[in-house]
């Protein structure tokens, strides 16, 4: 009888049938398996009375060895006796309000749900491109989550790109440090997402659907173990400046629970090639759907002021935080099809959003911008917005403000996570978009709260003002890791370019590391539905050939195609605009690269005019050097791209 049961389960697995049966052993264990729709990825969940583990297998090869899971509620029974289990399949199409990577997403997965007698449930989804699990509390009574256990037991030989952190109070703006797990010092803290590579297979760990709970972080242990850690609920908070609130002490629990609820998805992307991470959308797919009308949300590009300290020149007025400067920004934006102008820090007293600086009149500027078909975005620290939320948002809405950039949160405990949601919902009531800075990684906001357009949580171009950290290696690493979680407000567009050995820090007129075409390629590679132009209009006006591209490139996409990718070395993508134009972008890391790109992504039978901006023959000596050319191309042809270290390439393809 046992032999027959074993053969039946193996046969069911081979034909892709997932079910809630299993094998009982002397230890009262039960194994439940669920496969991806394409049958390549298998998750085996092993349940005993006192422990739950899972194993991940890809094409017969173990990726994640047995790894323990658990959730400890305040008064819950710690025994894991199964009440019932069931499987299901979903094959649907999602249509994002804001099409970050694509205008439609095939949402195809097999699911497993396990209800335990202790009032908790464990839900699994397995996709062709990864998997995830989450806990559900079925109880009606309030209580506390005391602990959550999540582990990823990886081969000790696995390589990682690890966003190492010093503590839970962080902007999450990190370089990705490369380690081999068996030589990595133990107990290193990291924010998410983090990437692991196992014999060429990519494993990216992050989370989705983070609401009313603490964010997940990770630490490494012995023999390849990666385990989750969480900031506990703040017990005592202390305001230390006009924008900072520090946690003095914490409670002994992670989160308060008021009744029945689901907890965040623990997401594991699984890709056979690094380039496929560029189009993975599991974080979006596993987030809860939005409720309400978000048709008013309008993506676009943004002229930014803070990066260059309003250091405009070749103008007949005194540049600074004043009406004349911002009217100049508005005129520039209107002339070049830039949808928004951002007034960053400086327009108001940082402790009172109603106290504008004496030389600026925001309502007047918003009215002037509207007459030019340009919208105004306003910066605020989270702390003053928290104190003045209703008054400030009501005022902003009455002035015609289209969005806010909210800064310096630097935490993701349950209390702060609740602030993100509360602010986003209050802003949405007034048709105001949100850009979070000083923020944790995105966790599916674009699906759940589509007015959250973008967020930082990335070591971006702003740090080029102060450091040499934003290297070509870094800028060809983040598309595969941070961007896989969601849009990133990297703020590209620098026109003062320098090769790595020539780069110099200049806060008032910053340089960027890499070539001119490298910065331009970021508008195709990097995703942000509110995409910044970081440099001063003066520089863009002096470079009309570059501005011809920046005026046309969109900030959202109908479809995306990963063309080439190696973490920290090279990245190339093709994007289809909503109007049917195509864009190609490529970037290199520390070494020169040559790429031959087949144009197989184009539709049949259509000839395109392709306008190209590429590194000049002297770009390895002078990073500003670029050349342009115009070609006639169609599907079936190929292009050759040659880039120096820190190089770039962009092309716009328009139907004839």
Per-residue burial over 270-299, b if 16 or more Cβ lie within 10 Å, else e, is: bbeebbbbbbbbbbbbbbeebeeeeeebbb
Between CA 612 and CA 546 the distance in angstroms is 11
Query: DSSP state, 182?
Result: G
Question: For 644, phi and psi rounded to 5 degrees?
Answer: -80, 180
Nearest to 123 by CA among 168, 85, 177: 85
Nearest to 420 by CA among 609, 216, 210: 210
Question: For 383, phi and psi rounded to 5 degrees?
Answer: -70, -45
Angle at 431 between CA 428 and CA 435, to 5 degrees: 65
CA 507 to centroid of chain Cα atoms:
27
Q: Let me know: does 306 contact 345? Beta carbons within 8 Å.
A: yes
Residue 407 catalytic? yes
| 53 sits in which H/E element | strand 52-58
Question: For 31, phi and psi rounded to 5 degrees?
Answer: -110, 130
Residue 49 catalytic? no
Sign of the four-CA dihedral 393, 394, 399, 400 = positive
Q: Let me know: does 322 contact 328? Beta carbons within 8 Å.
A: no
CB-based burial label for 562 (10 Å; 0-12, 13-18, 19+): buried
Nearest to 553 by CA among 528, 587, 535: 528
The structure tokens listed for 160 are: 């990682």
Question: Which residues have CB under 8 Å from 26's CB, separation 6+?
Answer: none
Between CA 492 and CA 302 the distance in angstroms is 11
Between CA 656 and CA 646 the distance in angstroms is 33
Strand segments, DSSP code E, in 98-162 are 105-116, 120-127, 130-137, 143-153, 159-162
CB-based burial label for 426 (10 Å; 0-12, 13-18, 19+): middle
At which residue do the structure tokens 């396990």 appear? 114
- DSSP assignments along 515-548, one per residue: -HHHHHHHHHHS--SEEEE-S-HHHHHT-HHHHH
Question: For 464, phi and psi rounded to 5 degrees?
Answer: -65, -20
SS3 label, residue 554 = coil
Which residue is catalytic, options 407, 412, 527, 615? 407
Which residue is catalytic, options 462, 489, 535, 576? 462
Between CA 495 and CA 535 the distance in angstroms is 7
Return the half-sphere exposure (C-beta side, CA atoms, 13 A cut-off) of residue 338: 29
Sign of the four-CA dihedral 246, 252, 258, 261 = positive
Query: DSSP state, 200?
Result: T
Catalytic residues: 407, 462
């Amino acid at each position: 009888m046992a032999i027959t049961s074993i053969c039946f389960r193996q046969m069911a697995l081979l034909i892709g049938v997932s079910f809630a049966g299993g094998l009982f052993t002397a230890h009262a264990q039960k194994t439940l398996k669920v496969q991806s729709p394409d049958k390549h990825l298998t998750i085996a969940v092993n349940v005993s009375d006192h422990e739950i583990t899972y194993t991940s297998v890809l094409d017969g090869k173990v990726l994640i060895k047995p790894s323990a899971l658990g959730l400890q509620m305040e008064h819950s029974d710690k025994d894991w006796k199964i009440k019932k289990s069931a499987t299901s399949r979903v094959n649907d199409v999602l249509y994002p309000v804001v099409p970050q990577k694509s205008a439609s997403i095939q949402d195809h997965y097999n699911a497993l749900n396990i209800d335990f007698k202790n009032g908790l449930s464990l839900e699994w989804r397995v996709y062709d491109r990864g998997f995830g699990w989450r806990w559900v509390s079925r109880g009606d009574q309030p209580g506390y989550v005391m602990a959550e256990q999540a582990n990823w037991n990886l081969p000790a030989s696995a390589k990682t790109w690890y966003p190492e952190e010093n503590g839970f109070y962080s902007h999450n703006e990190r370089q990705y440090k490369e380690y081999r797990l068996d030589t990595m010092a133990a107990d290193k803290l990291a924010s998410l997402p983090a990437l692991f590579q196992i014999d060429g297979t990519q494993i990216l760990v992050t989370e989705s659907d983070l609401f009313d709970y603490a964010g997940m972080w990770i630490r490494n242990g012995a023999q390849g173990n990666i385990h989750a850690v969480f900031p506990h609920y703040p017990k005592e908070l202390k305001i230390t400046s006009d924008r900072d609130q520090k946690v003095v002490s914490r409670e002994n629990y992670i989160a308060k629970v008021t009744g029945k609820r689901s907890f965040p998805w623990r997401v594991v992307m699984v890709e056979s090639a690094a380039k496929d991470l560029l189009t993975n959308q599991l974080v979006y797919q596993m987030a809860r759907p939005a409720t309400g009308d978000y048709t008013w949300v309008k993506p676009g590009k943004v002229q930014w002021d803070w990066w260059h300290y309003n250091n405009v020149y070749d103008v007949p007025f005194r540049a600074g935080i004043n009406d004349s400067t911002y009217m100049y920004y508005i005129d520039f934006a209107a002339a070049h099809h830039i949808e928004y102008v951002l007034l960053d820090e400086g327009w108001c007293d940082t402790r009172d959003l109603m106290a504008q600086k004496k030389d600026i009149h925001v309502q007047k500027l918003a009215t002037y911008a509207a007459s030019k078909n340009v919208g105004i975005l306003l910066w605020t620290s989270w702390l003053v917005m928290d104190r003045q939320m209703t008054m400030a948002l009501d005022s902003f809405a009455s002035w015609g403000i289209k969005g806010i950039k909210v800064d310096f949160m630097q935490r993701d405990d349950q209390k702060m996570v609740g602030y993100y949601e509360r602010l986003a919902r209050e802003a949405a009531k007034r048709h105001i978009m949100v850009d979070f800075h000083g923020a944790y990684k995105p966790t599916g906001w674009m699906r759940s709260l589509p007015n959250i357009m973008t967020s930082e949580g990335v070591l971006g171009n702003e740090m080029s003002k102060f450091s040499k950290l934003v290297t070509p290696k870094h800028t060809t690493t983040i598309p595969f890791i941070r961007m896989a979680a969601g849009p990133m407000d990297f703020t590209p567009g620098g026109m003062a370019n320098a090769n790595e050995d020539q780069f110099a820090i200049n806060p008032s007129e910053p340089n960027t590391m890499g070539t001119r075409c490298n910065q331009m390629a970021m508008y195709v590679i990097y995703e942000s539905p509110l995409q910044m132009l970081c440099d001063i209009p003066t520089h863009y006006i002096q470079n009309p050939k570059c501005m011809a591209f920046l005026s046309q490139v969109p900030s959202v996409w109908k479809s995306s195609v990963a063309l080439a990718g190696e973490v920290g070395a090279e990245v190339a993508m093709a994007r289809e605009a909503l109007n049917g134009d195509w864009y190609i972008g490529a970037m290199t890391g520390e070494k020169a690269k040559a790429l031959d790109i087949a144009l197989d992504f184009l539709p049949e039978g259509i000839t395109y005019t392709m306008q190209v901006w590429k590194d000049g023959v002297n770009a390895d000596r002078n990073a500003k050097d670029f050349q342009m050319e115009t070609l006639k191309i169609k599907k079936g042809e190929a292009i050759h791209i040659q880039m120096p270290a820190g190089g770039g390439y962009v092309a716009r393809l328009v139907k004839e």
